[in-house]
Structure 1
Amino acid sequence: MATMNVSLPDALKAFVEAQVGERGYGTSSEFVRDLIRHEQARTELRALIADGMASGPGSELDDDYFTRLRGRIRQAADA
């Protein structure tokens, strides 16, 4: 695993330390890694959304659409 040093102002350092204690992280590194993973996931989701928007017109989001969606979810849960 590579090491990276990050300089933080006192207020941000205190915030990180508080989050470590409040959220049950073992170290500040664990907290920062979790933040980075969340940012990666957010970035990937934004890219998927942009790809979907660029792919052309989508389905009409009416009651029938949501009824079909609920049915597919139920089928997947039963499988």
Structure 2
Amino acid sequence: MRETTDPAAMTTVMAELEETMICESGIEEHQIWGIGLVLPTLHADTYEVEMNMLEWDLWRGFNVSEKLVTLLDLPA
């Protein structure tokens, strides 16, 4: 099981997995428009239900999309 409380480390793992999927898919990089990203909400003020775990406090304010764009050089 991977440590998921550190957003910077976990985002690096996510990028590595994405690179593996791209490589194994046989799709040429110039054919990829970008990557999709779905995360549980961390903003109770925006949604009716807040998914909350103690470890998620480190994820608040961390821009996962921006980090993935930097690591993968693809829009997210």
- Tell me, yes or no, whether TM beats 0.5: no
Identify which of structures 1 and 2 has the higher relative contact order when contacts are C-alpha pairs closer than 8 Å and 6+ apart: 2
When normalised by structure 1's length, the TM-score is 0.29
Question: Structure 1 or 2: larger helix share?
Answer: 1
